[in-house]
């Protein structure tokens, strides 16, 4: 796998992660169906945020590491 492909996959992962975080926030704050579900609704919105964090955080760290290595060269 080339660096270009890897960076594309990581950027896609970050985008999906941020979208999941925003979806979780939307579901928790603005969706009445989730509110009516009670605890299950809270779990659904929290899982969206959690999976979004899992997808976005490590990839940001790896991309930062790649950029620092590229600047050294």
Work out how many domains the chain is built from and give that number: 1
Residue 29 half-sphere exposure, CB side, CA atoms within 13 Å? 7
d(CA 47, CA 35): 15
Residue 40 lies in a domain: yes
Residue 63 lies in a domain: yes
Give the range of the structural domain holding residue 52, as residue numbers without chain letter.
11-72
Residue 36 lies in a domain: yes
Residue 25, judged by CB atoms within 10 A of its CB (0-12, 13-18, 19+), counts as middle
The reported pTM is 0.80
Residue 3 lies in a domain: no
- Walking along the chain (73 residues) 10 residues at a time, the average pLDDT comes out as 84 92 94 91 95 88 83 86
22 Cβ neighbours under 8 A, 6+ residues apart: 52
């Amino acid at each position: 796998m080339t660096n270009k492909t890897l960076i594309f996959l990581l950027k896609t992962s970050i985008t999906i992660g941020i979208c999941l975080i925003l979806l979780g926030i939307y579901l928790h704050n603005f969706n009445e169906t989730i509110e009516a579900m009670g605890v299950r609704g809270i779990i659904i919105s929290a899982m969206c945020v959690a999976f979004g964090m899992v997808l976005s955080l490590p990839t940001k760290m790896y991309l930062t590491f790649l950029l620092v290595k590229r600047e050294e060269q």
